[in-house]
Amino acid sequence: MEIWINPACSKCRSALSLLDAEGAEYTVRRYLEDVPGEDEIRAVLERLGLEPWDITRTREAVATELGIKEWARDAGTRDRWIAALASHPGLIQRPIITADDGTAVVGRTEEAVRDALSR
């Protein structure tokens, strides 16, 4: 499994602690440094079963600058959202855990991290 983290994020640190406590094998990806491209974001969205606006941090300063809260949330604007996430990875909700079974979760809660561990 792989976990996308921002080391400054308390939810990310909590998820890592739980993974370590459970003896999970995982790879850490600091996605602000190792930025996912648009195709990779699409693949993770597919694994999550979510749309890009579902994993966008709309309260970030850059989101305000881009006016993201006003963007339509439909198939016609999906690529625009994905491009914004690839260009501004700080907008991506974290941590994202890709499970070995091909699924993924946004691991913001202990329950979500445990769900990823059970896959």
* DSSP one-letter string for 85-96: HHH-GGGB-S-E
96-112 burial string, b = 16+ CB within 10 Å, else e?
A: bbbbeeeebbbbbeeeb
CB 115 within 8 A of CB 105: yes
Which of the following is catalytic: 9, 18, 24, 66? Answer: 9
- Active site (annotated) includes residue 9: yes
Output DSSP code: residue 30: E
Known catalytic residues? 9
